[in-house]
């Protein structure tokens, strides 16, 4: 086979075949986990994250209000509660999404993996 540069080397085809093979394997690796993740649970994940975010804010607000009522620290409890609740919501959603990403890509993600060794 004569390639663009005019050199005539038979191993080239072997390399190409090999490359093709490896590409195929790599593509399969990339495609299959996404397909398995798409088993109708995507809607469930969306539900999960949206409620987590909203409820965290509400819980923060409620706790802040409770502290206000008990200790008489009128506006500050609600204020800090709201901020903390929002932070908690964002944190939970970030954690959840990191876990989902790792699951989709088939990558074990540090602390979220079930670790059997250290117990």
Taking the complex as a whole, the smallest distance from the CB of residue 52 to other proteins amounts, in Å, to: 6
Q: Is 56 exposed, middle or buried (0-12, 13-18, 19+ CB in 10 A)?
A: buried
Candidates 84, 100, 102, 105; binder of other proteins (CB under 8 A) is: 84
- DSSP-assigned letters across all residues of 64-114: HHHHHHHH--HHHHHHHHHHHHHHHHHHHHHHHHHHHHHHHHT---GGGS-
Is residue 92 a contact residue for other proteins (CB under 8 A)?
yes
Is residue 117 a contact residue for other proteins (CB under 8 A)?
no
Our CB check for other proteins shows the closer of 11 and 114 to be 114
Is residue 48 a contact residue for other proteins (CB under 8 A)?
yes
Is residue 77 a contact residue for other proteins (CB under 8 A)?
no
Sign of the torsion formed by the C-alpha atoms of 82, 86, 89 and 91: negative
Binding site for other proteins (CB under 8 A): 40-41, 43-44, 47-48, 51-52, 55-56, 58-60, 63, 84-85, 87-89, 91-92, 111-112, 114-116, 119
């Amino acid at each position: 086979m004569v390639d663009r540069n005019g050199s005539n080397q038979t191993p080239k085809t072997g390399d190409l075949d090999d490359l093709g093979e490896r590409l195929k394997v790599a593509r399969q690796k990339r495609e299959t986990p996404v397909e398995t993740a798409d088993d109708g649970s995507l809607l469930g994940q969306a539900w999960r994250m949206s409620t987590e975010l909203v409820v965290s804010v509400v819980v923060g607000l409620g706790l802040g209000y409770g502290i206000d009522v008990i200790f008489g620290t009128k506006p500050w409890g609600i204020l800090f509660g709201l901020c903390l609740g929002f932070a908690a919501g964002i944190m939970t959603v970030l954690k959840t999404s990191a876990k989902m990403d790792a699951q989709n890509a088939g990558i074990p993600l540090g602390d979220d993996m079930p670790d059997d060794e250290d117990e």
